[in-house]
Amino acid sequence: MTATQRPTVAKATPARQASRPNALSLRIPEPRARPGEMLDFGNLRLSRGSAVERPAIDVQAHEIRDLAYGLIRVLDDDGQAVGPWAPALDTQSLRDGLRWMMLTRAYDERMYRAQRQGKTSFYMKCAGEEAVAVAQALALAPDDMCFPTYRQQGLLIARGYPLVEMMNQVLSNALDPLKGRQLPVLYSSRDYGVFTISGNLGTQFIQAVGWAMASAYKHDRRIAAAWIGDGSTAEGDFHHALTFASVYRAPVVLNVVNNQWAISSFHGIAGGGDSPFASRAIGYGLPALRVDGNDFLAVHAATAWAVERARANLGATLIEHVTYRAEGHSTSDDPSQYRPAGEAAGWPLGDPVARLSAHLVAIGEWSADRHEALRKELLETVRAAGKEAEAVGTLSTGSRPSVRTMFEDVYKDAPWHIREQRQQLGV
Amino acid sequence: MMATMNMIQALNSAMDVMLARDPDVLVFGEDVGFFGGVFRATEGLQKKHGLERCFDTPIAEGGLIGVAVGMGAYGLRPVVEIQFADYIYPAYDQIVSEVARLRYRSAGQFTAPMTIRAPYGGGIFGGQTHSQSPEALFTHVAGLKVVIPSNPHDAKGLLISAIEDDDPVIFLEPKRIYNGPFDGHHDRPISPWAKHPASAVPEDYYTVAIGEAAILRAGEQVTILAYGTMVHVVLAAVEESGLDAEVLDLRTIWPVDIDAIVASVRKTGRCVIVHEATRTSGFGAELTALIQERCFYHLEAPIERVAGWDTPYPHAFEWEYFPGPDRVAAALRRTVDAHG
């Protein structure tokens, strides 16, 4: 079946239309392909790397509106870095970036299996989106404050947060730094500059603006960065963030990770069909960059531009990262039920790990053998960390923090009713 | 130095004192900056402390509470004004899912030590969008404290305590009594705060502890639990009924001063609870449950609730809706007369 032979779903009822020729009809957006249909990426709005200019950081937002509709790319099909956005990253940084992306992927694969083995309740991978978090961690200063969603685990990994700590959280074991209170993957690490991740989508976006306002108020040098998915841009928090960031010129980098899918809803349900998410910034007077999110160099370059601008007290930038969620939303859904098989493999912007690896090979700094050796090394790293964490315990072994801790931290000091309820439970 | 203040002046003084004492305190909300707030609670603060210490925000309650969460995570102590408690609902997700739970979900790594001020309650012909009493929506949420003062002295001392508290505080201000105590007799002349002893307010720093009720009148026949404007209605009803009632001003409704309540009800054996909020699942329901759990064998009569009716707050029927002194007095009489 081709895209043009699709069954007529979500169309106005023909009989009704025929009887009322000028009647209104309701549009319910649908993706270009559903399971069993031909892949169709015809609405992606791609551009060539050299086609998008890199403006000065003190440009006025209205002068660069085109960037919201173009696509910043650096890596070409031959793995060469081309165009005005090609960053001056040394090869060690590139190799670090590749390592962290591959480590993130290896970590995800192990924890996904751990969930399938019943060692925890839930897991979420970021397969295909590793460049976003890892390249951005590299472009931000280590003490800049991150307000991520649940799919930027690469931030923690790139900042050197111990894998075992992450695993302890996912397994809700006795050493879980969050004491068994949070769903797996909703990490928090003040020491590593990662804000407590919320399961209520979008809330972090405006909070990051508040953190950035506080930093500006205190004449600090640190900036904030926030992430949100394409689906959650429909939440009020997204629009609050753009309003407040614009009004108070907050030093914050606002990222939309457009991975095309919000569970089973394609990006068009969030309003991404008629105008790119980056273009939302235009109405708020903020600069917008739309970037190839699977191009490590492009993500780094766009982020570095926004970081430099924020640190120069020039305010916020909205960056849309065009990427693809290569696997399910979480361990709780089966993407083959709502999108065509092979859509991930056919994604026109490729795979971020493969593309950065190919670039390093193209510039003579990498090889297939070294890549395979690194893959095996990271597999072993993750395996060792997994053994260590599982030795502490898993959700299924019942090795949890003391039940008494369930009643702690509701308030700074437990009021009478919390103390009383703890006694009722007998802990 | 003592001064005579109404509630607005006392609240203003609390914020003034804290802005001066702590550079991490910021005051913001809709119209609070140059104008000083629609009820003038922040009047003069921007001019005195600077544009960036007291400023206007966009009309986006979810946005300004979200911003306050981020500021709290940074280490500031935001004091935000929601122009009317009726407007707080757009911020409910941020308050319930974020503000209240940051400390818990991050195991103490991040906290949201903010004070959310909101004028609430009826008696001003504000109709259904300027008269509501949503306190029970916040007492139901683990991690929040809810404070409601009933006079200028408590208002200042409690607001300073709230700002200094390391947990988030919902600070509801009974707007009907901003300028003077109101006993519910809407047909009588208004009495200014200057004639009330609680208008004597220290000009400098002091606190009133969160979590402590005040016994405004000692008595033997029946205990009355109230807060906000209703405290004054209750005192009038007691005087007019001639009963020897014990009147507790809860001041903090969560965590409530359970010891003071239990001690009083065990003494009197009878209890009437009075609030403006709608009756069903109102805070009176929680108080009733707490009392029967702890005082059942001391009770000599059913616990009565006098509350707003379970309707939206109607504009033209202000005084039929508002639980005035006659309704309170009737409930007192029934409770005192009841015999098992």
Indicate the length of chain A as a whole number: 427
Q: Considering only the beta carbons, identify the residue of A217, A411, A415 that sits closest to B52.
A: A217
Residue A175 contacts B, CB cutoff 8 Å: no
- Average pLDDT of chain B to the nearest whole number: 97
Within an 8 Å CB–CB cutoff, is residue A217 touching chain B?
Answer: yes
Closest chain A residue to B59, measured at CA: A240
Encode A347-358: b = buried (16+ Cβ within 10 Å), e = exposed.
bebbbbbebbbb
Identify the pLDDT of residue A1: 35
The pLDDT value given to residue B314: 96
Contacts of B20 (CB under 8 A, 6+ apart): B49
Whether residues B63 and A190 touch (CB distance < 8 A) is answered with: no
Can you give the three-state secondary structure of B54-80, one letter per residue? EEECCCCHHHHHHHHHHHHHHCCEEEE
Contacts of B142 in chain A (CB under 8 A): 410
Q: What does the pLDDT read at residue A189?
A: 98
Most B-contacting residue of A165, A204, A211, A215 (CB-CB within 10 A), to test interface: A211
Asked if A207 and B110 come within 8 Å (Cβ–Cβ), the reply is no
Contact partners, residue A227, CB within 8 Å, separation at least 6: A132, A133, A146, A147, A148, A149, A151, A152, A204, A255, A256, A257
Q: Which pLDDT belongs to residue A45? A: 80
Nearest of A157, A13, A46 to residue A99 by alpha carbon = A157
pLDDT, position A87: 87
pLDDT attached to residue A4: 41
CB-CB under 8 Å, B106 with A218 = no
Q: Contact B45/B54 with Cβ under 8 angstroms? A: yes
CA A214/CA B70 separation, integer angstroms = 8
Three-state DSSP at A261 gives strand
* Residue A272: C-alpha distances to residues A149, A288, A298, B172 (Å): 19, 15, 21, 41
- Shortest CA gap B233–chain A (Å): 29
pLDDT single digits (tens) B245-260: 999 999 999 999 999 9
- Distance from C-alpha of B69 to C-alpha of B168, rounded to nearest angstrom: 10
Are B73 and A203 in contact (CB < 8 Å)? no
Of B68, B98, B107, the CB nearest to A198: B98
Extents of the domains making up chain A = 55-261+281-336+351-396
- Given this model, what pLDDT does residue A9 score? 52
Pairwise CA distance, residues A12 & A139, whole Å: 49
* Yes or no: domain A55-261+281-336+351-396 corresponds to CATH 3.40.50.970: yes
pTM as predicted:
0.96
Q: What is the mean pLDDT of residues B154-183?
A: 98
Q: Which residues lie below 8 Å from residue B217, measured CB to CB, with a gap of 6+?
A: B235, B238, B245, B246, B247
Would you state the structure tokens that stand for residue B211, as one six-digit string? 């979590």
B304 closest CA partner among B279, B276, B340, B277: B279
Tell whether A219 is within 8 A of chain B (Cβ).
no
Catalytic residues of B: 130
- Radius of gyration over every alpha carbon of chain B, rounded to an integer in angstroms: 19
For A139-142, the CB contacts below 8 A with 24+ separation are A139/A299, A139/A300, A139/A303, A139/A304, A139/A307, A140/A223, A140/A225, A140/A253, A140/A303, A140/A307, A141/A222, A141/A223, A141/A307, A142/A193
Q: Mark yes or no for CB contact B103/A410 under 8 Å.
A: yes
Instruction: Check A195 against B62: CB less than 8 A apart.
Output: no
If you write DSSP's letter for every residue of B226-295 in order, what string do you get? E-TTHHHHHHHHHHHHT--EEEEE-SEEETT-HHHHHHHHHHHS-EEEEEEEESTTSHHHHHHHHHHHHH
Q: What confidence score (pLDDT) does residue A136 get?
A: 98
Q: Name the DSSP letter for residue B165.
A: -
Q: Is B208 exposed, middle or buried (0-12, 13-18, 19+ CB in 10 A)?
A: buried
- What is the reported pLDDT for A18? 60
Q: Are B212 and B252 in contact (CB under 8 A)?
A: yes
Give the model's pLDDT for residue B241.
96
pLDDT digit string (tens) for chain A, length 427 residues: 344 444 445 444 555 556 788 999 999 999 999 999 999 998 888 876 667 899 999 999 999 999 999 999 999 999 999 999 998 899 999 999 999 999 999 999 999 999 999 999 999 999 999 999 999 999 999 999 999 999 999 999 999 999 999 999 999 999 999 999 999 999 999 999 999 999 999 999 999 999 999 999 999 999 999 999 999 999 999 999 999 999 999 999 999 999 999 999 999 999 999 999 999 999 999 999 999 999 999 999 999 999 999 999 999 999 999 999 999 999 999 999 999 999 999 999 999 999 999 999 999 999 999 999 999 999 999 999 999 999 999 999 988 899 999 999 999 999 999 999 999 999 9
Contact residues on chain B for A224, CB-CB shorter than 8 A:
70
B-chain CB neighbours of A198 within 8 Å are 97-98, 105
- Find where tokens 């306002």 sit: A213
Q: Which of residues 233-252 of A touch B (CB under 8 A)?
A: 236-237, 240-241, 243-244, 247
**Alpha carbon of A231 to those of A132, A256, A269: distances in Å?**
17, 9, 7
**Alpha-carbon separation of residue A328 from A127, A155, B262 (angstroms):** 9, 20, 55
Partner residue opposite B97 with nearest CB, options A178, A203, A241: A203
